[in-house]
Structures are given as structure tokens and as C-alpha cells.
Amino acid sequence: MRVTISKEGIPWAMAAGRALLGPMLIAGEKCGWNGVALACLAVTALVTDIFDGVLARRWKCDTPGVRLFDTMSDTVFYLCVALALWIGQPQMLRAHAGLLAGLLALEMLRFGVDFAKFGKPASYHTYLAKTWGLSMAAAVIAVLATGHESELLSLVLVLGIVCDVEGLAMSLMLPFWQKDVKTLRAAWLRRKMVGTTRTPRRSVWPTDAGKGVAVSGLLFGLCVLMAAPAFAVSSGKASYTGGTEGVAGDTVGTFDRTSIVVAFYDSPMWSAKLNAAHAEQDKAKAAGDQKKVAELNKRGKDQQKLAHKQMAGNTNIDNILETMKPMFTAVEAEAHVRTIVPEGARIAKTAVKVDVTGLLMDQLHADANTRQSAEQLRNFKKAHPMEYRLTMFLFRFEGD
């Protein structure tokens, strides 16, 4: 039997494929796939999201059904992304719980309003929504690839809230369902042209959307069934990661990032580095080298801002890890671990975790006061994540 696919069906297939990448992402995260593999799935989804619309317009098959199905596929994929991140990095989502709750509440309100008024989700594809989609994809790719929080994440959540407010306003403004309304001004002009009379709803879904939803629903179900075994892997058993069997005996050392940042900047090693910088600055002043003095002042302020951002958890700690590399080797031998990573970093699900925060603080010669401060911050972060996040956010800007 010969199967032929018309080019008009390709945008449908691309949107359906994007939805199906969602369960694959969840299964990959559950099985412990590496960050590059997960990021590649997100990049593939982004490419299909860009080109399904481009091809649909080029081939003049950009129907309301295609646009609606495109919106639904985006929703399914990013819901799966959220679940995958919850599986792999729950602490990151907890840190943004307030913004996430606000965004989800607005999303549900929008769907409720759209269904009550139009009988189906809106599909405006505004410029703001496109910007949100691209920035969200960039943030997701960065998080999946690095295993660390992206500085874009807070901005993406705020942008999503603004985008939902815009979409809600447009739904309230327009008298009946319309696709591809790019801005609030465009929505207002369309309202003025058609008046405020609401047209009756003849069909809840566009005719061509029904076929796409049915086929995608079947494929989605099959994909979930195929991914289900990933969730059946018991602790201590091998899981398969892109064809490579994970080793159940792997032991990984983990450390509390905030505690190490506190200990590093309060360590004798850092004090010696600061003293050397001050001596260099005094020497430049004595020599009348104002250019050198200005350069050293800028370097000091930049370092202070970096330390504040690292304390707030808003940037990487690569400079600290690089300096501590010899210490890691000693701690790996003492703790009998294969490698050392920050808490929350992506590791194999079968790996055994060993907390080496105390041993690393020993290497930094942390005194009792430093240890007490670090422990208090660590306990506060666990007990009150939202308050901790707000405190660190304000602390970050004290150095600016």
C-alpha cells in the first residue's frame, strides 16, 4: 500500500511532532539523558514551531484549524517541559513558585474566557506571544543543556504574564473568534470594523482541526505508552540513556551552592587575593597611574557585583569552581565519590548522592561563624523558599 502525504499536511505533521516531543522529553529526563540530548529535543520543537507557520503561509494552507492546532501543540509541549523540569530540577520551579502560580492562573482564566465566548482556545499569534515563545525556548534550552537555572527564566515568566493579560484583553474586546490578531491595536480596529454583534457559534472546532486533533491524540497516547517504562525503573536498577546503560553503583558528591559561595568569599584564600589587589591599587596610586587605579576599581566593583549575583543564585559560580578544582580532587578521594556537582545538577537517576558540603568547607578553612551563617541560610532556603528568593533578589542589588 502506497502512502502519500500532500505538502498541505506537512504543517499539521510538524505541529503534531512538536506535541509528541513533550512525552519524549519527560521520558528522557526520567531516564537521566544528558543535557545536550534534552536540549536537542527542545531545539527541534523550536524549529518546527517556526517553520510550520512559514510553510503553511507559503503553501496557502494557513487555515484556522492549522493555527488552532499549532497553539494546542505549543501548550502540550510546554506543559511537558514544566513536568520534565519538575522531575529533574524541582528546586528551580519552587524558587519561581509565585510567578509560575500567577502565569498558570492567567492561562486557566484565558482558556475559560475563550471557551465561554468562542467555544475554543484563542489563536492570536501576537508579536508579544512570538517574543515570549522565542525567549521561553531559549531559557528552556539553556536550562536543559547546562542543568542550571537561566537568568532568562524570571524574565520569561513575567513576559508570559504580560502576554496572557494582552490575550485576555483581546478576547474580551473581539466579538467573535479570529486568528492572527497581532496587537491590541489590531484587535481594537477589527472590533470597530465588525461592530460589537456577536456571531453565533456554528462549530466549536474548525472542520480541519478535528482530524488533526484525533490523529495527534492517538499518536500522543502511543508515545505516552512507549515512554511509560521509563517511570517503572526502580531504585538500584539500570536505566537506559540514549542506548547507554547507566551504572547503578555510581556515587556522586553534591554540595550546597550557597554554603560554598559564603565559605569561599570568607576564606583565607580570598582574603589573600583581596589583600594582593589592595596592595596593587596602593602601588598604582603611589605611582600616579590613574588609568591603572580606575581599572582596578572597576575590577573590584565587577567582582563585588558577581559575588552578590552568586549569593542570589542568579549566575554561575565557575570562577569559584575553577579555583577550588584541586580541592575537589582531595574531597573526591576522601568521600569516595566519582565526581562532585552542585545540588540540583542533572545526574543519573540511579546515582547515589553523598553530601560533601562540609568537606569542601573544610578545604576552604571555614571557621565556626562562617559555618553557622551558611547553615542558617541553607535551612532558611529549605523552609521558606519564596522568602529566601526575595531576600537574595534584594541582596543582589545592594552591590549595584
> Is residue 179 helix, strand or coil?
strand
Poorest-pLDDT segment among 41-50, 73-82, 238-247, 276-285 = 238-247
Give the residue-averaged pLDDT of 267-271: 91
Confidence of residue 228 (pLDDT cuts 50, 70, 90): very low
In this prediction, residue 195 carries a pLDDT of 60
Beta-carbon count within 10 A of 265 CB: 18
In this prediction, residue 356 carries a pLDDT of 94
In this prediction, residue 355 carries a pLDDT of 92
* Distance, CA of 304 to chain centre: 27
The residue ranges of every structural domain in the chain are 7-199+208-237, 251-399
- 172: its cell numbers: 474580551
How far is residue 251 from each of residues 2, 294, 319, 335, 349, measured CA to CA in Å? Answer: 52, 47, 25, 10, 11
pTM: 0.56
- 367: its cell numbers: 571557621
In this prediction, residue 397 carries a pLDDT of 54
pLDDT value at 196 more than 60: no
pLDDT value at 241 more than 50: no
CA nearest neighbour of 43 among 143, 174, 113: 143
Give the residue-averaged pLDDT of 375-382: 82
Contact 107, 71 (CB under 8 A): no
In this prediction, residue 251 carries a pLDDT of 86
Burial of residue 4 (number of CB atoms within 10 Å: 0-12, 13-18, 19+): exposed
Alpha helices in the chain (DSSP H): 10-31, 35-58, 64-88, 90-95, 97-118, 127-146, 152-173, 184-194, 207-227, 257-265, 268-286, 290-312, 318-323, 325-335, 357-363, 368-383, 385-396
Give the residue-averaged pLDDT of 241-256: 57
